[in-house]
Structure 1
C-alpha cells in the first residue's frame, strides 16, 4: 500500500477546464466573425460602432472580474463555475434575438422570425435609428456575456491551485489556457459557415448551447481532491506537496485557511504587479481576437466566409498552440536550474516578452503577402498565451488558496480595462485613418470627386476595389492605423515585465 501508484484524476479536471475555456472563446468569437460581413450590412454599423461594442464588453468584463473572483471564492469552485458558464451561455444565445428586438422597437412588430426581422429592418428609412437601436441591444447581450465569462479564469485558476502543486500549475494552466487557442482555431472554420448557411443568429445559438452541455459534466465530475473518490492517497500527497516547504508552512491544509479581505488584497505589491502585467497585455490578445478577421477584410478584401481567410485564421491560431511550451519552461527552470517557482516563471516570461516584437514587422511585410502578418501574429499570439499561463500562476505562487480567485479577478479587471482602451481606441483610429489618411492618386479625400466618397466621408471597401481596378492609385489609410496598433502590441509585454519585476523583485509568498 505504501508503494501505491498515484492516480491522475487531476488531469481529468484539467481537461474540463480546457473545454470550458474553449467554449468561452468560441462564444466570444462569434461576433468578431459575423459582424463585418453579416451583421454590419443589416444594421449599418461602422468600425467605430463595432469598436464601441467590443470596448464596452471589455469594460463590463473588467468590472465583472473584480467581483467574479470574490464570488467564486465565496461560492467555492464548483458552484461558482456553474453559475458563470450558465450566465455567459445565456448571454451568448441572447445575441441571436437582437435582430428581432430591433425590428420590434423600430417598427412595433415583435411577432416575426429571424428572416422577418431582416425584411422589416430593410424597409426602415431611418437607418440611424436602426443603427443605434441594434448597437444598444448588442451591448446588452455583451454585458450578460461579459458578466458570466468573467468567472471562467478565477474559477479555473482556483481549481488548478486545488488539484496541482506549484511546480505543475503553469503547465496545467497552459494546457487549459490552450482552450482559448482551440476555440479561436475552431471558430473561423465553423462560425462563418453556420452564419452563411443558417443565418448569423444560429451561430450564436448553436455555439452558446455548448456551455449548457458542459455544465452537465461539471456537476458529476468535480469534487475537492481530498473528498474525491477517484483521487487516491498517493495522488493527494503529490497534490499537497507544497504544504510544508523550507521548514515553514506556506500553504495551509485545505479548509483551514484564514480569509483575506477584498480590500486587504490591494495592500500587497504582488497584487499590483499581477494587475499591471494583465493591464498591459490582455488587451493585445483581445485586439488580435476581435479585430484580425476585420483586418483581413479591410486590408486584403478577404471576408470571413472566404476559404482563404478561413485558412489564414486557422493557421494563425494553430501556431498559437506552441504556447504549451510556456507551461513546460518554468518547470524546467525549477527542476533543472533549481530556481524557485517565481524566479523560473519570471525568467520564462521575459523570454516570451521578446517574441511579440515581431509584430513591428507585420504591416510592412504584409505589403508583400498577407501570409506574413498571419504567421507573425500567430507567433505573437503563442507568446501571449505562454505569458498568460505564467502570469496567472504567479498568483498561486504568492497568495493563499482562499484569495486566489479574488486576486485573479482583480488582475482580470485590470486586463479588461486595458482591452477597453485598445478596442475603443482602435475603432476610432481606423475610422479616422480611413477619413484622413486615405489618398487617391496622392491627393486626400477632400480633393477627389464627390462620388468616390461616402456620406460619412470615407471610401468603402467595395469602392476601394473598384477604383483600384480602374487604375486609380489608392492608399488605404487604415493600413497606417493597423501599423500603429501593432506597434503598441509589440512593446507591451516588455513594459509589463519590467514593472512587475520592479514591484516584486524576489519570491515572497504572502502569509496570513
Structure 2
C-alpha cells in the first residue's frame, strides 16, 4: 500500500542487495561442492579441508571488523563496490591455487617441510582473498537497508535480500557440478567468480544515497526518513555520516555484546551446513557431485521460506504494539525452536536420505529467519553512523564461531572415521547445531531484556 502513495524505488535497491548476496554465496559455495573432487585429486583429509574452510572463516572474521569501518568511511556505494571486486578476484584465484601454493612455499623457503601440501596452501590463500572481499557484503547491505528503509520495513527488506544467500545456495549445486564435469573444476571457479563484475555495472547505475538519488520521489524520501532521533529530528544520511564512532565506545554497550554473542553462537551453524553437507551426503549415502544436486537444491529452497517469512514474522508482534526490538525478540524465540528438529536427522536417517535433507532444511530455514532478525536488531538500537561498525563486530564474532565449529567438525570426522563410524561425528555436530539458537537467544535476552536504543553516540 505504501508503494502506491510514496513510490517504490527503495525496492530496486533491495533487489540489488538481493543479487549481490546471491553472488556472494555462489562464490562461497563452489569449494564445498567440489570438495570430494578436490579431495580425491589432492588426497585431502577432513582436517585438511577443515583447515581450508577455517582459514576462510578466520580471515572473514577479522575482515568483518574492519569491513564495517571501511564501509562507514567510504560510504555504501564505494564500500560495496570495493568488496565485490576483491571477492570476485578471490573467487577466480582458486583456479590458480596449485601454482599459487607452489609459489608461496618457494618464496617462503619452506619447501622442505614434510607433508606440506601445495594445494592446501594455495586454497588457503585463495580463500583468504575471497574472505576479505566477502566480509564487506553484509555491513554494506545492512547499511544500505538502513539508508533506504524506515525501521518498520527493515527486517522485511533484510529478509528479502538475505534470501539471496538461499538462492545462491540453490543455484550453486545446480551449476557448479555441471560446469566442473564439462569444463574442469578450474572453470567453475572462474565462471562463477566473474558474475560479480556484471553486478557491479548495475550497482553504479542505480545506487546513490537517498538525498542524492534522482530516481527517488520526494514523498518516498520523506517516508524513508520517518524515524526521528531522540530529539524528534529526522537526520539526513549525510548528517548521520558526520560523526564516527570508535570500537571502544561500541564495546561499552550491552547491545553490541548481545549481537556479537548471538552471531558467534549461530553463524557457525550456517557455515557448517554450507561447507559440510555435500561431504555428509557422500559419506553417509554415497552420493557423488552430480547426485547431490537435487537434494541440496531442495534443502536450500526451503531456506527461502525462512528468510522472507522470518523478515515478515516480527510485524505480527509490532502490529500488536510491541517496539520493533521487542517484537523481533519474541519472533526470534519462536524461530529458535525450529532447529530442534535436526536432532531427529540421524536417528531417522536410515529410512531415507530425504529425512535428514528435509529436517536440516527446516533448521537452515530457521537460521535464515533468525539471521534476518538478528541483523535488524542493530538498526533498531544503533544510529545509522554506527551500524556498519556494529555489524562488523558481530560479523567477526560470527566468523570466529564458524572457525570453532569447522575445526571441531573436521577433528570429529577424522576421529570417528578412524574408528569406522563417521556418522557419529555428524550426530554430535547436528546436536550442537540444533540447540545453538535457544542458547543464543537466552544470552541475548539476558543482556538486553527490553528495548534500549542508543541515544548518546
Task: Determine the structure 2 residue equivalent to 1:326.
Answer: 310
Q: What CA distance in whole angstroms lies between the structure 1 residues aligned with 2:415 and 2:395?
A: 30
Task: Determine the structure 2 residue equivalent to 1:253.
Answer: 236
Shift of 1:262: 2.1
Shift of 1:101: 4.0
Alignment partner of 2:397 out of 414, 418, 433? 414
Q: What CA distance in whole angstroms lies between the structure 2 residues aligned with 1:371 and 1:411?
A: 34
Offset from partner CA, 1:369-418 (integer Å, 9 cap, x none): 11000000110011000000000000000101000000000000000000
Q: What CA distance in whole angstroms lies between the structure 1 residues aligned with 2:106 and 2:64?
A: 37
Offset from partner CA, 1:286-316 (integer Å, 9 cap, x none): 100100000000111001222xx21111110
- Aligned-residue Cα RMSD (Å) equals 1.9
Whether the aligned pair in 2 keeps the contact of 1:366 and 1:373 (CA below 8 Å) is yes
Q: What CA distance in whole angstroms lies between the structure 2 residues aligned with 1:509 and 1:100?
A: 51
Q: What CA distance in whole angstroms lies between the structure 2 residues aligned with 1:232 and 1:256?
A: 20
Task: Determine the structure 2 residue equivalent to 1:87.
Answer: 86
Unaligned runs of 5+ in 1: 109-125, 439-476
Instruction: Go from structure 1 to structure 2 and tell me whether the alpha carbon gap of 1:224 and 1:102 turns closer, same or farther (over 3 Å shift).
Output: closer
Q: What CA distance in whole angstroms lies between the structure 2 residues aligned with 1:366 and 1:127?
A: 42
What are the within-5 Å matches in structure 2 for residues 43-442 of structure 1?
A: 43-101=42-100, 132-243=117-228, 248-249=231-232, 252-257=235-240, 258-306=243-291, 309-323=292-306, 324-335=308-319, 337-436=320-419, 438=420
Offset from partner CA, 1:176-217 (integer Å, 9 cap, x none): 000000000001010001011100000000000001111111
Q: What CA distance in whole angstroms lies between the structure 1 residues aligned with 2:186 and 2:239?
A: 48
Instruction: Go from structure 1 to structure 2 and tell me whether the alpha carbon gap of 1:259 and 1:314 turns closer, same or farther (over 3 Å shift).
Output: same
Aligned residues: 447
Instruction: Go from structure 1 to structure 2 and tell me whether the alpha carbon gap of 1:241 and 1:136 turns closer, same or farther (over 3 Å shift).
Output: same
Whether the aligned pair in 1 keeps the contact of 2:336 and 2:437 (CA below 8 Å) is yes
Q: What CA distance in whole angstroms lies between the structure 2 residues aligned with 1:107 and 1:508?
A: 55
Shift of 1:249: 3.3
Q: What CA distance in whole angstroms lies between the structure 2 residues aligned with 1:397 and 1:104?
A: 48
Whether the aligned pair in 2 keeps the contact of 1:44 and 1:127 (CA below 8 Å) is no
Q: What CA distance in whole angstroms lies between the structure 2 residues aligned with 1:140 and 1:64?
A: 14
Shift of 1:226: 1.6
Shift of 1:509: 0.8
Q: What CA distance in whole angstroms lies between the structure 1 residues aligned with 2:18 and 2:296?
A: 21
Whether the aligned pair in 1 keeps the contact of 2:91 and 2:130 (CA below 8 Å) is yes
Instruction: Go from structure 1 to structure 2 and tell me whether the alpha carbon gap of 1:338 and 1:50 turns closer, same or farther (over 3 Å shift).
Output: same
Unaligned runs of 5+ in 2: none
What are the within-5 Å matches in structure 2 for residues 471-482 of structure 1?
A: 477-482=421-426
- 1:505 paired with 2:449, answer yes
Offset from partner CA, 1:434-479 (integer Å, 9 cap, x none): 113x2xxxxxxxxxxxxxxxxxxxxxxxxxxxxxxxxxxxxxx111
State the TM-score, normalizing by the size of structure 1: 0.85
Shift of 1:252: 3.1
Q: What CA distance in whole angstroms lies between the structure 1 residues aligned with 2:106 and 2:69?
A: 43
Q: After the TM superposition, which of the residue ranges 355-364 and 3-12 deviates more from structure 2? A: 3-12
Task: Determine the structure 2 residue equivalent to 1:486.
Answer: 430
Shift of 1:7: 1.4
Instruction: Go from structure 1 to structure 2 and tell me whether the alpha carbon gap of 1:102 and 1:404 turns closer, same or farther (over 3 Å shift).
Output: closer
Q: Which runs of 4+ in 1 moved over 6 A?
A: 103-108
SS in 2 for 1:505: coil
Shift of 1:102: 5.2
Q: What CA distance in whole angstroms lies between the structure 2 residues aligned with 1:93 and 1:43?
A: 19
Shift of 1:5: 3.4
Whether the aligned pair in 1 keeps the contact of 2:413 and 2:425 (CA below 8 Å) is yes
State the TM-score, normalizing by the size of structure 2: 0.95
Whether the aligned pair in 1 keeps the contact of 2:94 and 2:123 (CA below 8 Å) is yes
SS in 2 for 1:256: helix
Instruction: Go from structure 1 to structure 2 and tell me whether the alpha carbon gap of 1:136 and 1:169 turns closer, same or farther (over 3 Å shift).
Output: same
SS in 1 for 2:154: helix
Choose 1 or 2 for highest CA Rg.
1
Whether the aligned pair in 1 keeps the contact of 2:102 and 2:118 (CA below 8 Å) is no
Shift of 1:248: 3.9
